[in-house]
Structure 1
Amino acid sequence: MSDKVEFPYFYRTVPSDLHLCAGIVKLLKHFGWTWVGIIASRDENSMRAVQILREGIEQSGGCIEFIETFSQSNTLLFQDMKNISEIIHKSSTKVIILYCNKDFTEAVSYTSIWEAPGKVWIITAEMEFFLPSYFIDRKNTLAFTVGKKIIPNFHKFLREVNPSIFPNDSFIEMWWRDLCNNKCLKSIQRSCSNVKTSAYIIHCDIINSGDSYNVYNAVYSLAYALHDMITSRSGNTTIWSGESESCSDVLPWKLHHYLKNLHFKNALGEEIIFDENGDLAIGYDIISPVFLPDGTRIKEIVGSYNPYAPPEQEFTIYEKAMTWDSTFTEIPPESRCSPSCLPGFRKLTREGEPVCCYDCIPCPEGEVSNQTDMDACMKCPEEQWPNQKKDVCIPKVITFLTYEEPLGITLTFICIFFIFINTVILGIFIHYKNTPIVKANNQELSYILLISLMLCFLCSLVFIGHPDKVTCILRQTAFGISFSIALSSVLAKTITVVTAFHATKPGSKLRKWMGPRVSLSIVLSCSLIQTVLCLVWLFTAPPFPYLNKNSEIGTILTECNEGSIVAFYCVLGYLGLLAAISFIVAFLARNLPDRFNEAKYITFSMLVFCSVWVSFIPTYLSTKGKYMVAVEIFAILASSTGLLGCIFFPKCYIILLRPERNSRECLSKYKNY
Structure 2
Amino acid sequence: MHQDFCGGWSSPGLCSEMDPYNGNLLREYLLKVNFTGLSGEEFHFLPNGDGPPRYRILNFKQIHPGKYEWITVGMFENRTLMMDMEKLQFHMNHTLYPDSLCSLPCQFNEAQMFSGKGVLCCWNCVPCGTYQYLPTRHECVDCPLGTLPSDDLLSCVPIPEEYLTYDSTIAIVAMTVASLGFVAAVYTIYIFVKFFDTPVVKASGKELSFVLLIGILLCYGMTFVIIAKPTNITCGAQKFGVGLCFSICYSALLTKTNRIARIFRAGKRTIKRPKFISPQSQLLICFGLVATQLLIGVVWLLLSPPAAGPYYPTRESNQLVCLSAVGLSYMIGFAYPIVLIVVCTVYAVLTRKIPEAFNESKHIGFTMYTTCIIWLAFVPIYFSTASNIEIRLATMCLSISLSATVSLICLFTPKLYIILLHPERNVRQSMVSSKLHYSLKQSTPNSSSLRVDSGTQSDGEIELHQRLKSCGSLSSGFSRSTSATQTCSNGTSISTQTLDSIGRGFDDFDVQL
> TM-score w.r.t. structure 2 length?
0.63
Structure 1 counterpart of 2:80, from 129, 137, 140: 129
Give the counterpart of 1:642 among 406, 410, 415: 406
CA distances 1:181-200 after superposition (whole Å, capped 9, x unpaired): xxxxxxxxxxxxxxxxxxxx
Give the direction of change, closer, same or farther, for the CA distance of 1:359–1:86 in structure 2 (3 Å limit): farther
2:208 is matched with 445
Q: Residue 643 of structure 1: CA displacement?
A: 1.5
- How does 1:263-662 map onto structure 2 within 5 Å? 328=96, 333=99, 342-344=107-109, 363-364=129-130, 366-368=131-133, 377-386=140-149, 393-504=156-267, 507-548=270-311, 550-562=312-324, 568-623=330-385, 624-662=388-426
Instruction: Answer whether contact 2:134 2:153 (CA < 8 A) is retained.
Output: yes
Partner of 1:297: none
For residues 181 and 97 of structure 2, the distance between their equivalents in structure 1, rounded to whole angstroms, comes to 74
State the AA in 2 paired with 1:113. Answer: V
Cα 1:543/1:590, change in 2 over 3 Å: same
The 5-angstrom pairing of residues 214-225 of structure 1 reads none
| Deviations 1:608-645 (CA, angstroms, capped at 9, x unpaired) | 22222232222123222322221211121111112212
Alpha-carbon offset, residue 363 of structure 1: 2.9
- Alpha-carbon RMSD across the aligned residues, in angstroms, is 4.4
Distance 2:110 2:417 in 1: 68
Native 8 Å contact 1:437 1:651 kept in 2: yes
SS at match of 1:363: coil
Structure 2 CA distance for partners of 1:665 and 1:18, relative to 1, 3 Å:
farther
Classify 1:661/1:500 alpha carbon distance in 2 versus 1 (closer, same or farther; 3 Å).
farther
Within 5 Å, which residues of 2 pair with 1:166-181? none
CA contact (8 A) 1:543 1:563 kept: no
| Structure 1 gap segments, 5+ residues each | 1-6, 25-38, 42-67, 69-80, 91-107, 115-122, 139-325, 349-355
Report the counterpart of residue 508 of structure 2 in structure 1.
none
CA distance in 2, matches of 1:588, 1:18: 109
Unpaired runs of 5+ residues, structure 2, are 1-20, 32-44, 89-93, 114-121, 439-478, 480-511
Letter matched to residue 648 of structure 1: F
**Cα distance, 1:400 vs structure 2:** 0.8
Determine the C-alpha separation between the residues in 2 that align with 1:335 and 1:507: 107
Give the deviation of 1:384 after TM superposition: 1.0
Structure 2: which amino acid aligns with 1:471?
A: T
Q: How far off is 1:580 after superposition?
A: 0.5
Cα contact 1:386–1:554 (8 A) shared by 2: no
Pair 84,460 (structure 1): closer, same or farther in 2 beyond 3 Å: closer
1:113 maps onto 2:73 in alignment: yes
> 3-state SS of the aligned residue for 2:318?
strand
Look up the match of 1:186.
none
State which drifts further: 7-16 or 537-546.
Answer: 7-16
- Give the counterpart letter for 2:347 in structure 1: V
Q: For 2:390 and 2:278, how far apart are their aligned partners in 1?
A: 46
CA distance in 1, matches of 2:242, 2:390: 18
CA deviations 1:243-268 (Å, max 9, x no partner) are: xxxxxxxxxxxxxxxxxxxxxxxxxx
Contact kept? 2:73, 2:85, Cα under 8 Å: no
Counterpart residue identity of residue 450, structure 1:
L
* 2-structure distance, mates of 1:430, 1:128: 111
**% same residue:** 26
SS of the residue aligned with 1:555? Answer: coil
Give the Å deviation of 1:535.
0.8
Q: 1: distance between equivalents of 2:257 and 2:401? A: 22
Describe the superposition over 1:95-143 as per-residue Cα deviations: whole angstroms up to 9, x where unpaired.
xxxxxxxxxxxxx9xx6424xxxxxxxx86x3533624769xx9xxxxx
Deviation at 1:391?
Answer: 7.9
Distance 1:653 1:394, change over 3 A: same
User: Hey, what's the Cα distance between the residues in 1 that align with 2:165 and 2:225?
Assistant: 11
- Tell me how far apart the structure 1 counterparts of residues 50 and 203 of structure 2 sit (CA, whole Å): 108
Cα drift, residue 524 of structure 1: 0.9
Query: In the alignment, residue 507 of structure 1 is paired with which amino acid?
Result: T
CA distance in 2, matches of 1:535, 1:18: 87
SS class of match (1:584):
helix
Distance (whole Å) between structure 2 residues aligned to residue 512 and residue 420 of structure 1? 37
Shift of 1:361: 6.9
Question: Which one has more relative contact order, counting CA pairs under 8 Å at least 6 apart?
Answer: 2
Q: Once the 2 structures are TM-superposed, how far is the Cα of residue 499 of structure 1 from its aligned partner?
A: 2.5
Look up the equivalent residue of 1:606 and give its one-letter code: M
**Aligned partner of 2:183: which letter?**
F
Aligned length: 381
Q: Distance in 1 between matches of 2:46 and 2:222?
A: 85
Distance 1:394 1:503, change over 3 A: same
Change (3 A) 1:448 1:18: farther
Alpha carbons of structure 1 residues 334 and 113: separation in structure 2 relative to 1, 3 Å? closer
Query: Is the Cα contact below 8 Å between 2:159 and 2:317 reproduced in 1?
Result: yes
* Match of residue 663 from structure 1: 427
Corresponding position of 1:36 = none
1:345·1:363 contact (CA, 8 Å) conserved in 2?
no
Distance 1:129 1:368, change over 3 A: closer
Amino acid at match of 2:349: F
